[in-house]
Structure 1
Amino acid sequence: FIKYTHALGQNWGRAQRRAVSQWYTKQNPSELAMAVTKYQNREGYTHRDVLRLSHPSTKDPLICFLFDYITHGLQKAIEHLKSTNDNHNTENITDTYQQEVEQKQIILNNDNEEDDEINNKKLLTIEQLKEFLETVEKVKTSTDENELITAIRQHHLVREHLPTNMLNSKNIWAVLLENMPLTAMIRNLGKMSAIDLLREDSEAEKYVVQRLKNRAQLYRARIHPFNILVALETYKQGKGFKGKLQWQVNQQVKNTLEKAFYLSFKYVKPTNQRYLIGLDVSGSMSCGTINGSPSITPAVGSCAMCMVTVRTEPYAKVVAFSDRLIPVDFSKNSKLEDIMTETRRISFGPTDCALPMIWALERKGM
């Protein structure tokens, strides 16, 4: 968000400072502690940079301690805490705030599985927060596998908390997998296969397959079908598009991931609007890849997004176009391979992007 607002030339006015400040101050300490330790640096910005620009203010002692940790480091934050002499009890949050935290916890538990790393560890006192941050700092330089496994289980640490040189350990990944959110699990299938964790008939393979088949988990995770398709196409390649990571494709995992792709369509909420989808079938759509999704060509990506609309919306019409326009009949049961085969059969020429709009205008009100 900050990167894009900067690219648009937007200055840090009052509205932006307030919006960014509230991202920090409106979260409960458990959420914020996980966020600032998991994502310490993104797009060239650290949390320290953002706090300096947004100037957030809060009376919550736990979030104040987190701000001190972000700006000065853990040791300084602990020293400042000891030297602080005020009338507030910094060891326990107020009953009102505890009720708010517990209410948020109930909402998170019922709403979204992707917050499992937050749900599993509630930080309600300064002492608990300090212990969590001390563990996070300690594991950054740890080379003791057993120590890391203990920390993961006790404090529900995630992959981003661990030192890179320890991420080739099968035992560590096995423990991470126990409470790994579904989106993270799908994103890391290649890595887990590369270290032979997902070998055939292994417990890890059975666990992954079971979760990918679980309709309730897919629903709670709210993973968009396109994201599953990207994971599927990447996993099928047996190698990453960046770096040297390679893996042996587990056929059971691959087949289940494909089934999860089609299952996930059921959980996209329809808008109940009328849609005309113009599907570009010109030759250029088969060239290159989609920005941010190097495993997907524009042709595959457009057909997949077309499927999302056709399968979820009650009023969706599809037309294919290049130098001419051809109505096509895709049903809610059409598979991606069927749509790709149909579009490849259409002869193409130069691309005229006006054709779908002209076609729609001619039939307006019909």
Structure 2
Amino acid sequence: MRKAVSNWYNGQDAMTLATVVAKCKQQSGWSHKDLLKLSHTKPANDGVSLVCKYIMKGWKEIKTEYADKENPEEVLKVLSYLEVVDKIKHSSDETEVITMIEEHALEREHLLTSHLKSRNVWRALLKEMPLRLLMKRLGKMTAKKILDPGSTETQTVCDRIQNEVILKKARIHPFTILVALENYKKGQGYKGKTKWETEGNIIDAMDAAFYKSLTGGDSAEYLEPVDKNLVIAVDISTSLSSVVPGTSLSTAVAAAAITMSFSSTEANTQVLAYSSGALIPCSVAAGMTLEQVTAEMIKTPSDCTDCTLPMAWATENEKAVDVFIILTNNPIWPFSASPVEALKKHRQKMGIFSKFVMCGLTSTGHAIADTPDRGVLSICGFDLGAITLIQNMAHSMI
């Protein structure tokens, strides 16, 4: 672990590392200082050494230490950047703050809370704001009247959001766009303190971005294909009416979006809807809307589910499946047989090492027995990281 952390710091160029450190000094109770102390990192070059000293000592000591030295160009560049980062935290002049934002591409994390009370400061941030953060902050900027209906800022934002070139460069997953869209449509933050009137053009732009990220040009530009035979089986019980924690998405819509993201890149994908005793093939074709896919998957709801059905179906029909992806809200229903045993039967029948992912879209617990089988993965709760885990497992990276 120490080596991995050290390699991360030494693997960055000095300016990139300085930017990361200045934007986020600590997260979840851990600081860069904690990591450097525990990893015993030895800087690989002068630039990384400067940033590490900045982490441990702060700007004042670094400024004094490097003042009389003949520093290489890389070090001078980092010193200049860190000086601006320190200066903006001591400035109360709106014009000066805006100038520093525009000249040095500073972001919201570099600023004080008092700076963010200014609309003009937000407008300056908006010009170079990364697309992922822009989507996340649409509600707050609408609440602060930065994105008023018909304003130049709103039109610029809408153009950026649905620009295919910008979308491809940002490599934002469709699920991330959908979560941001649904959160914006809700009209208020999670704790209800920040509220806003939604703007129709922004909603339309986000909706267009979602479909472009699935099908715009070459979808592989947005999504990394795993090139495997997949079965995506969706629980169609009434439990899918609940909401994915941390989002405004129902589990049914989330399941549809996940299915669409895999179907758009994987040519060999079979989508199934399953319940207590039935298995229904679903038609998920290019050009279908999210609403159409959701309706297709939940047209025959049931009270309980059995996640062994997709594997039994593939075994009986002699369909070679590399990865079974089970999407459900309630994976604790009693099964007619062990999911692990059903998976083993399919492996034996088809002669391949099939894998099984049980993805609970909410944190309700799991009934899958603990198993050392490296081809079985249980995911409790859902976010974009879950999709990465599934892709890695399909690639045999975990």
Coarse TM-score class (shorter-chain normalised): 0.7 to 0.9
Deviations 1:3-62 (A, max 9, x none): xxxxxxxxxxxxx11111111111111100110010111011010000001111124222
- Give identity over the alignment, percent: 37
User: Deviation of residue 229 (structure 1)?
Assistant: 0.2
For normalisation by structure 1, the TM-score amounts to 0.81
User: Deviation of residue 275 (structure 1)?
Assistant: 1.1
User: Deviation of residue 165 (structure 1)?
Assistant: 2.2
Partner of 2:75: 125
Deviations 1:281-322 (A, max 9, x none): 1111212x324x321222211111001112221111111012
Distance 1:24 1:296 in 2: 37
Distance 2:291 2:140 in 1: 27
Partner of 1:341: 295
Partner of 1:23: 8
Deviations 1:41-87 (A, max 9, x none): 1011010000001111124222211111110111122233358xxxx
* From 201, 211, 217, the counterpart of 2:166: 217
Contact 2:2/2:40 (8 A) holds in 1? yes
Kindly tell me: are residues 320 and 24 of structure 1, through their superposed partners in 2, closer, same or farther at Cα, counting changes over 3 Å?
same
Partner of 2:58: 73
- Partner of 2:135, secondary structure, is helix
> Quick check: 1:319 aligned with 2:272?
yes
| RMSD (Å), alpha carbons | 1.7
Deviations 1:79-99 (A, max 9, x none): 33358xxxxx75215xxxxxx
- Give, as a single letter, the amino acid of the residue that structure 1 aligns with 2:72: N
Distance 2:197 2:313 in 1: 48
Distance 2:108 2:289 in 1: 34
For normalisation by structure 2, the TM-score amounts to 0.75
> Quick check: 1:281 aligned with 2:236?
yes
- Give, as a single letter, the amino acid of the residue that structure 2 aligns with 1:205: T
Distance 1:143 1:243 in 2: 29
Partner of 2:313: 359
- Give, as a single letter, the amino acid of the residue that structure 1 aligns with 2:229: R
What is the aligned residue count? 313
For 1:85-104, list aligned pairs within 5 A: 90-93=70-73
- Give, as a single letter, the amino acid of the residue that structure 2 aligns with 1:346: T
Partner of 2:30: 45
User: Deviation of residue 365 (structure 1)?
Assistant: 4.3
- Give, as a single letter, the amino acid of the residue that structure 2 aligns with 1:272: D
Contact 2:161/2:206 (8 A) holds in 1? yes
Contact 1:61/1:90 (8 A) holds in 2? no
Deviations 1:176-227 (A, max 9, x none): 1111111111111111111111112211111111112211111111000000
Residue segments in structure 1 that go unaligned for 5+ positions in a row: 1-15, 84-88, 94-123
Distance 1:347 1:203 in 2: 46
Partner of 1:269: 224
Which range is displaced more, 204-213 or 130-139?
Answer: 130-139
Partner of 2:355: none
Residue segments in structure 2 that go unaligned for 5+ positions in a row: 321-398
* From 37, 40, 43, the counterpart of 1:55: 40
- Partner of 1:279, secondary structure, is strand
